[in-house]
């Protein structure tokens, strides 16, 4: 099946290899194969297939307007995912983001598993089908049926099949050359847990495991640019929080590309005052151009930053990959050990005890970047985080810089007291649903059940009243960016269901299990 058919055929399930002809697999990776449609499964987009009684919630959904049932919210979230489904993957939004994004698909699959475990598996399989030979999972997989001018940077900018040839880029699938946070193994494990029988019958984990292992090898071996054991990002887009003030200082060394050399398609869909400035965008383009012209070789660019959220998600996914290995009959001990070693490196290199949070480290200068971003709270997700550090992170989240449970509805993306704070500008203050989902899980993991429940209710209420917005004003919940955003809908679905219960495969030795199913509930 060619790529165009794969991405545009509605209601078509996997029936052949995802890997396109001539595309090398990542080292040690197995084929991702497709199975015939499961006709016994209800239509994921049919409201009649999901009566109110089927929605298991941990409590009522309280909205700011007229009361709406959890079942109603469930069905409207499902409709968002229906509208953004292409046949083999889900776009973040039809207008602003018309292709497949890497960490979006991971979060989307976590929510989609509550509607259709088969579709959730397909979401991840489609993404992994575009993996490069060196193991990297590109941050965008382009839909060839979308016009080039619908999104920038477009496939003709990245030139993946030519500029990425030495790194093993697919020959017939167009992708970007940079990556995004490694949420994928965590997503794959949670998707498996939603229907282990289906997963085993399709060989889902046995097929995705080699791809995920190659992805982690790439990050750990090619991206330890600081030499301290942590992964560096080489572009702000890789960390996912594209326009954070955290990047201002490292980006100041980068000469921006001339404004006349590119056209910003994002301004066709959003207000300029809510988007990155032209100066910042010029620097993004310059970094991406230099990376491309260097054939996507790592370690040569002016920008290299160790980010706490990126590394925390890698650690969480290492724990998940250990669970997957155990499910497949192998020992996961080495991966758990690696995850705990990475946790120690994270604390050693990025923790600031005086400030009570994690900071980015600029690898080129060796200095911590003194900007308080929500990225510095995300390590709360980790099961082996020392008790005193977890407690300090909770205090910081609830304090004046982020206002959790006090001044804000949802945790903002940036310090409320910072000079660069803007409640509406992209990642410079607005609240995002994926980061709040991660924090809700982290709070629950470290015994902060009351705060986790309150954040869960606030996230559901805000997703509901904002029309599943891309991001919101952290004070008012006012919608910003695209509406009907896929990961907002998907993570609302996940929050609607009861917190993840311990599964017998999570912890075979009887220790406590994190609510995310990623590791032992243990404090050092």
- Known catalytic residues? 242, 470
Task: Supply 304's token pair.
Answer: 């290299």
Distance CA 100, CA 89 (A): 7
Find the DSSP H helices in 182-307: 184-194, 196-202, 204-222, 236-239, 248-251, 278-293
Go through 106-131 and write b for each residue having 16 or more CB atoms within 10 A of its CB, e for each that does not.
bbbbbbbbbbbbbbbbbbbbbbbbbb
Contact between 410 and 472 (Cβ < 8 Å): yes
In sequence order, what are the beta bridge partners of 357?
Answer: 352
Helical spans, DSSP H, in 351-479: 387-398, 433-445, 449-465
Q: Is 504 exposed, middle or buried (0-12, 13-18, 19+ CB in 10 A)?
A: exposed
Q: Which of 168, 178, 157 is nearest to 242 (CA)?
A: 178
Whether 111 and 145 have beta carbons less than 8 Å apart is answered as: no
List the one residue out of 56, 123, 103 whose CA is nearest residue 378: 103
Say if CB 190 and CB 227 are below 8 A apart. Answer: no
**Quick one: how far is CA 318 from the chain centroid?**
15
Asked if 128 contacts 32 with a C-beta cutoff of 8 angstroms, the reply is yes
User: What is the pairing mode between strands 305-306 and 140-141?
Assistant: unpaired
Q: How many CB atoms lie within 10 A of CB 404?
A: 26
Tokens of 270: 């959003």
DSSP tag of 101: E
For 156, residues 6+ apart whose C-beta sits below 8 A from its C-beta are: 148
How far is the C-alpha of 443 from the C-alpha of 7, rounded, in Å? 37
Give the number of C-alpha atoms closer than 13 A to the C-alpha of residue 255, restricted to the C-beta side.
2
Distance CA 515, CA 500 (A): 5
3-class SS at 97? strand
The answer to whether 198 and 117 are in contact (CB under 8 A) is yes
CA nearest to 213, candidates 27, 337, 33: 27
State the DSSP string of 273-338: GGS--HHHHHHHHHHHHHHHHTTT-TT-SS--EE-HHHHHHHHHHHHHHHHHHHHTTS--HHHHHH
């Amino acid at each position: 099946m060619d790529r165009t058919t794969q991405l545009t055929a509605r209601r078509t399930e996997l029936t052949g290899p995802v890997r396109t002809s001539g595309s090398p697999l990542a080292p040690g990776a197995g084929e991702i194969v497709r199975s015939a449609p499961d006709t016994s499964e209800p239509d994921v987009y049919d409201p009649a297939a999901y009566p109110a009684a089927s929605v298991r919630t941990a409590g009522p959904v309280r909205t700011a307007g007229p009361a709406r049932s959890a079942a109603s919210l469930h069905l409207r979230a499902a409709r968002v995912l229906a509208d953004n489904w292409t046949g083999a993957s889900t776009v973040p939004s039809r207008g602003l983001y018309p292709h497949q994004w890497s960490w979006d698909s991971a979060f989307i699959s976590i929510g989609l598993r509550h509607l259709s475990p088969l579709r959730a598996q397909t979401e991840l399989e489609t993404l992994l089908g575009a993996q490069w030979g060196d193991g990297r999972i590109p941050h965008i997989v382009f839909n060839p049926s979308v016009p080039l001018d619908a999104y920038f940077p477009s496939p003709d900018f990245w030139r993946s099949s030519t500029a990425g040839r030495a790194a093993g880029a697919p020959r017939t699938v167009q992708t970007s050359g940079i990556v995004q946070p490694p949420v994928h193994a965590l997503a794959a494990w949670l998707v498996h847990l939603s229907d282990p029988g289906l997963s085993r019958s399709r060989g889902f984990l046995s097929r995705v495991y080699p791809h995920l292992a190659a992805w982690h090898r790439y990050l750990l071996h090619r991206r330890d640019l600081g030499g301290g054991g942590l992964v560096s990002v080489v572009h702000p887009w890789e960390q996912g929080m594209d326009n954070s003030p955290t990047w201002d200082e490292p980006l100041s060394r980068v000469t921006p590309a001339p404004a006349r050399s590119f056209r910003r398609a994002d301004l066709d869909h959003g207000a300029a005052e809510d988007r990155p400035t032209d100066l910042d965008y010029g620097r993004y383009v310059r970094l991406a151009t230099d990376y491309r012209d260097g054939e996507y070789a790592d370690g040569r660019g002016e920008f290299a930053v160790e980010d706490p959220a990126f590394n925390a998600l890698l650690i969480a996914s290492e724990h998940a990959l250990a669970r997957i290995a155990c499910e497949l009959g192998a020992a996961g001990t080495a991966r758990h050990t690696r995850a705990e070693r990475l946790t120690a490196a994270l604390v050693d290199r990025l923790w600031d005890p005086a400030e009570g949070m994690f900071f980015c480290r600029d690898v080129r200068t060796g200095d911590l970047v003194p900007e308080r971003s929500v990225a510095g709270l995300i390590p709360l997700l980790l099961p082996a985080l020392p008790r005193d550090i977890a407690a300090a992170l909770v205090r910081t989240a609830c304090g004046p810089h982020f206002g959790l449970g006090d001044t804000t509805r949802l945790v903002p993306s940036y310090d409320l007291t910072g000079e660069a704070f803007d409640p509406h500008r992209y990642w410079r203050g607005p609240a995002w649903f994926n980061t709040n989902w991660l924090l809700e899980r982290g709070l629950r993991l470290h015994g902060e059940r009351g705060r986790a429940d309150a954040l869960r209710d606030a996230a559901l209420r805000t997703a509901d009243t904002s029309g599943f917005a891309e991001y919101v004003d952290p004070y008012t919940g006012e919608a910003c960016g695209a509406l009907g955003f896929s990961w907002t809908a998907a993570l609302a679905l996940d929050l609607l269901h009861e917190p993840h219960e311990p599964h017998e495969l999570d912890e075979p030795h009887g220790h406590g299990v994190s609510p995310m199913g990623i590791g032992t509930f243990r404090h050092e």
